[in-house]
Structure 1
Amino acid sequence: MAIATDWRAAATLTGITDEAALAGLCAALLPSATVVSARERALLAAISSQPVATTAIDRTISAIQQGTDPLGECLLALRPAAQRRADGAVYTPATILAPMIAWLRTQGKPVRVVDPGAGSGRFILAAGAAFDNAQLIAVETDPLAALVLRTNLHLRGMTTRSQVLVDDYRRIKLPKIAGMTAFVGNPPYVRHHHIGARWKRWYTRNFKTLGIHASAMAGLHLHFFLKTALLASANDVGTFVTSAEWLDVNYGAALRKLLTQHLGVVGLHVLAPAVEGFSGTATTTAISCFRGAAPQTSVRVRAVNSLTELAALDSGAVVLPAQLDAATRWSSVIYPVQARDSDTVPLGELFRVLRGQVTGANRVWVFGDDRPSLPDSVLIPTITRAQDLIRVADRLESTASLRRVVDLAPDLDCYVGDEREQIDAYLTWARRHRADQGYIARHRRAWWSVGLREPAPILCTYMARRAPQFTLNVGEARHINVAHGLYPRQPMSERQLAAIVEWLNRNVEVGSGRTYAWGLIKFEPKEVQQLRIPAHLASG
């Protein structure tokens, strides 16, 4: 059966207004003899005995048997976005799932397929359709999602060869088999703040047994890669889709080593930041393909500029695993930057690059009309959002549209008369909002003194879903820590500065920065300083 391309089309189910009603519909669709986990039984015990409408049952059966996921879409609609994010419950669209299953089909016929975070079962159902005789193992911690998954498996005729484990993937054990196991899925993205100390110890300890130092700041999706490496054997294959931040960040270093040294990475396909792989999530996307649970001789890597390009997961530039091992950031391999040669110079030789000042409490120090009045002399037009620079592009002529930051001197005795009275009243209001209690306020010379830097001749964005925007600061705006300021080490004319800005905006790509969660490309000051520009621009 072909993978349906529009699961939402069948998502509206008559009478499903809460999770109990969804559990009730699943119960009506499943055979009465279905064996479920204790947590699923608890859900079923709590549902009302009111019969489910025949129309809802008929429509659901028809939709599922046509390959859509109405129950999964219903579950997503019932859960607030904040809860889904906390649980890492982001269901994969067919535009991403289908190429992954197609790649698995090129690797041979697995005896067993494992989805470590199955959700409503999109991957395991697609794998079951692709591999007629494979045993299907779906792992899911959410009991309601597990009920949905069982219902989908039943209505697609796969119950007899499937096993649903309502458990944490990190706890499961797989029996040894003769033949290949395929691991496939979308490991849940849960940040380390929501992972308990016990599991963090499990993560670092097991990496240590593999000879790899790991940071406990890793998200749950990295835990799932590790568990897969612990389960996989030499015959196995796998493909996972995750957010792409691990390509560059420090806590991703352990996964990068795991892929090259233990999981046998053979493919890495990264959606460009502008491509929205998961609707409404604002995250970058990376698909990893691995084979053989051992180092491979070559790896296919590529940047994918549209979802239609994603289809062929066996394509891409060929690189050696040693090249990946040598790279501190894998995005630099996927997005190669310009070569270093005698005709270029690093930007850091020409400019000091300084991050903007941290206010410590934007709600207080970024001025608004709802605040006590202040004299204009202490309200400084400032870049407070990346969009301030992106909107004006190459040249900031006027600061009239910018928000203003309260920038007071450390010594308040320099203000007198009405000016001092206004400032004292404002600081009283600021104390009521605890602006004097934050870490930044307590560690600067005077808690009320933000201390904005002098205007930088060139400003650039610090983090966005794109390459940085460089802007000639003709209007002499200040900047806080959403931007960097480029300060020439030697005097430069406006014409020379403008030429450098123009070249940077045309040539700097995302591969020079670091990819973080939610699809943001981050450029630290040192990375801006390492950018190389043509030598003739340096000489004016």
Structure 2
Amino acid sequence: MIAHQYNLVEIRRQAMQADIDTRKSAAERNRLGQFATPNTLAIDIARYVESLIVERRKSEIRFADPSIGSGSFFSAALAVFGSKRMKSAVGVELDPAFADAARELWADAGLKVVRGDFTRIVTNSSCPAAPNVVMANPPYVRHHHMDREDKERLQRLAFKMTGVEVNGLAGLYVYFLLLATAWMEDGGIAAWLIPSEFMDVNYGAALKCYLTDKVTLLRAHRFDPDDVQFGDALVSSVVLVFRKTPPAVGHAVEFTYGGTLTEPHARDFISLERLRESRKWTVYPSHAKNDRLTLSDGSGPTLGNFFRVQRGIATGCNKFFVLDRADAESRGLPDKYLRPILPGPRHLKTTIIDADADGYPLIDRQLCVIDCDLPEPMVETKHPALWDYLQTAQALGIMDGYLIGKRSPWYKQEQREPAPFLCTYMGRGSDDKQPFRFIWNRSKAIGTNLYLMLYPQYSLATMLRRHPDRAKAVHALLGQVTGQELRGEGRVYGGGLNKIEPNELARVSAESFVELWPELRSDVQSQGKLFG
């Protein structure tokens, strides 16, 4: 296909892509994980792959994309490699609209489109011949959009074909990468555009081990989270390029950050030994904009030594279960089954919360959450006002919620004691600005799952019982945790949104606590002996 013809087809492809995208809602495309690769990015990736096989310029390319879509990566491969070098090309696509579009667009250029589920096609005898170049942007389907039976099938298949035990929280893209690598020819090159979340989370550990032990990871380019690669998907992306061959002794991986693959903002070479020991890969390479830092290596004191960290409650529907205190009173709802609860972080303007005589926060908008353990007949008999309110749930669709169906009675909440300290679960912030806020809670209010609740334990709890005035200093120390470390222990999503989970917050260094109160260090040492 000559350049002029190629350009015309690529322009047509982009128009067809946009047309098919508009036929689905944003929610449906999110569930299916359909986010097309921009042509400029696909070409950038193809050029980097070309640089790796430049010494084999006369070799023939057998191209494959297990999630071809409308053919963005095949289009880029044609533009960069040229049609004469493409001995074969195959694309697999589950969505019939995209499969038909790719076939119509690229059949004359030699692309064979196979319609179906790649994770099933790769196991049968009709699977196309093994490729030596794979370029792919697999479906970004999160684990909660995958049904249990299919997830278990994929876990068994991944283990059978690669020996990797995939965590159930992993997204569909992990299975695509593993299965496609098992399919491809030994020595082949693969380039994958995937979410960068696996680099930081526990359920990405198996994939990280695979990338350091089973293949030769050549390059990991992480985009600046503020530079979302897909205008309709809030994900932070990484390009992984590797060769299907075991890594050589002393191999180092090129990590780049920001900008483009051709002109990144920063680069560094990280040894496999160092990578294997690293909990977080997003700390590489070091750069002013990549302001992620982990201070704790597990040997020193951490917040987990002094606090039990737990997510706030998930009500199942805050709009129904959480009411203004004044509204609940006007409805005649019994105080006994109402608990003070904090508003969402964006509505909470202070980091020190005092209480009124009833334990409610002294803030502009006091809220309460319905929490009752009485069976329905008793509620109907003893508390008719509460019963009348609960009857409105059916018409609102509340009863169809997943959490509601798991609870008995359905209006009983998770049990949490008020936490003296809380941390917001998500937020933004750059440089040394904390992306999350620490709150000193002197009220009886609990928090929703938009907060992490910090309960002092062990020697810190004992100290605060003896010296309650030191709570102010505890809050101050929490406020001194740097933004870099909080971002480093958490994870980042597209658009620069940071999130942190309980176990991640628990890993934050607490060296400042033992510097101020040396007596706490012995408790850290005893815990180390217990759990070591």
Aligned to 2:390: 430
Change beyond 3 A, Cα 1:358–1:88: closer
- Superposed CA RMSD in Å reads 4.3
**C-alpha deviation, 1:122, in angstroms:** 1.3
1:161 equivalent in alignment to 2:124: no
Residue of structure 2 aligned with 1:222, choices 145, 170, 174: 174
1:137 equivalent in alignment to 2:105: no
Aligned to 1:348: 304
Residue of structure 1 aligned with 2:344, choices 385, 389, 392: 385
For 1:46-61, what aligned pairs fall within 5 Å after superposition?
A: none
Change beyond 3 A, Cα 1:487–1:66: closer
1:88 equivalent in alignment to 2:41: no
For 1:388 and 1:183, the matched residues in 2 are separated by 48
Change beyond 3 A, Cα 1:348–1:226: closer
Q: Are the equivalent residues in 2 in contact too, given 1:99–1:312 (CA < 8 A)?
A: no
For 2:410 and 2:504, the matched residues in 1 are separated by 31
Q: Are the equivalent residues in 2 in contact too, given 1:238–1:289 (CA < 8 A)?
A: yes
129-138 or 437-446, larger mean C-alpha shift:
437-446
Q: Are the equivalent residues in 2 in contact too, given 1:236–1:292 (CA < 8 A)?
A: yes
For 1:454 and 1:508, the matched residues in 2 are separated by 28
For 1:148 and 1:448, the matched residues in 2 are separated by 49
For 2:149 and 2:236, the matched residues in 1 are separated by 28
For the residue of structure 2 that corresponds to 1:267, the secondary structure is strand
For the residue of structure 1 that corresponds to 2:449, the secondary structure is coil
Residue of structure 2 aligned with 1:262, choices 214, 221, 241: 214
Change beyond 3 A, Cα 1:406–1:174: closer
Aligned to 1:114: 64
Aligned to 2:421: 458
What percentage of residue pairs aligned between the two structures are identical? 25
For 1:367-516, what aligned pairs fall within 5 Å after superposition?
A: 367=323, 373-374=331-332, 382-388=341-347, 392=349, 399-402=362-365, 404-406=367-369, 424-431=384-391, 433=393, 450=413, 453=416, 455-463=418-426, 468-473=435-440, 476=443, 477-488=445-456, 489=461, 490-491=463-464, 492-493=469-470, 495-504=472-481, 506-514=483-491
For the residue of structure 2 that corresponds to 1:405, the secondary structure is strand
Letter in 1 for 2:341: T
Change beyond 3 A, Cα 1:471–1:264: same
131-140 or 233-242, larger mean C-alpha shift:
131-140
Between the two proteins, the alignment pairs up a number of residues equal to 465
Residue of structure 1 aligned with 2:294, choices 320, 337, 341: 337
**C-alpha deviation, 1:223, in angstroms:** 2.1
For 1:233 and 1:411, the matched residues in 2 are separated by 63
**C-alpha deviation, 1:460, in angstroms:** 0.6
Change beyond 3 A, Cα 1:66–1:282: closer
Change beyond 3 A, Cα 1:255–1:515: farther
**C-alpha deviation, 1:116, in angstroms:** 1.8
Map Cα deviations across residues 400-452 of structure 1 (whole Å, 9 max, x no partner). Answer: 3446123557689xxxxxxx999541234225527899897899897655477
For the residue of structure 2 that corresponds to 1:70, the secondary structure is helix
1:317 equivalent in alignment to 2:268: yes
**C-alpha deviation, 1:97, in angstroms:** 2.5
Letter in 1 for 2:453: G
For the residue of structure 2 that corresponds to 1:293, the secondary structure is coil
Map Cα deviations across residues 71-108 of structure 1 (whole Å, 9 max, x no partner). Answer: 21121122222332333221112453343122112112
Q: Are the equivalent residues in 2 in contact too, given 1:352–1:487 (CA < 8 A)?
A: yes
1:299 equivalent in alignment to 2:267: no
For 2:298 and 2:194, the matched residues in 1 are separated by 36
360-369 or 254-263, larger mean C-alpha shift:
360-369
Aligned to 2:76: 126
Change beyond 3 A, Cα 1:205–1:113: closer
Aligned to 1:146: 99
Residue of structure 2 aligned with 1:285, choices 237, 244, 260: 237
For the residue of structure 2 that corresponds to 1:473, the secondary structure is strand
For the residue of structure 1 that corresponds to 2:185, the secondary structure is coil
Letter in 2 for 1:510: R
Map Cα deviations across residues 147-206 of structure 1 (whole Å, 9 max, x no partner). Answer: 32244337xxxx2433222233331534368xxx22112111224443583674254234
Q: Are the equivalent residues in 2 in contact too, given 1:396–1:475 (CA < 8 A)?
A: yes
For 2:116 and 2:400, the matched residues in 1 are separated by 43
Query: What is the TM-score normalised by the length of structure 1?
Result: 0.71
Structure 1 gaps of 5+ residues are 4-59, 413-419
Q: Are the equivalent residues in 1 in contact too, given 2:136–2:192 (CA < 8 A)?
A: yes
**C-alpha deviation, 1:314, in angstroms:** 11
Structure 2 gaps of 5+ residues are 286-291, 355-360, 518-532
Q: Are the equivalent residues in 1 in contact too, given 2:67–2:91 (CA < 8 A)?
A: yes
Query: What is the TM-score normalised by the length of structure 2?
Result: 0.72
For the residue of structure 2 that corresponds to 1:257, the secondary structure is helix
Q: Are the equivalent residues in 2 in contact too, given 1:87–1:188 (CA < 8 A)?
A: yes
For the residue of structure 2 that corresponds to 1:214, the secondary structure is coil
Letter in 2 for 1:385: G
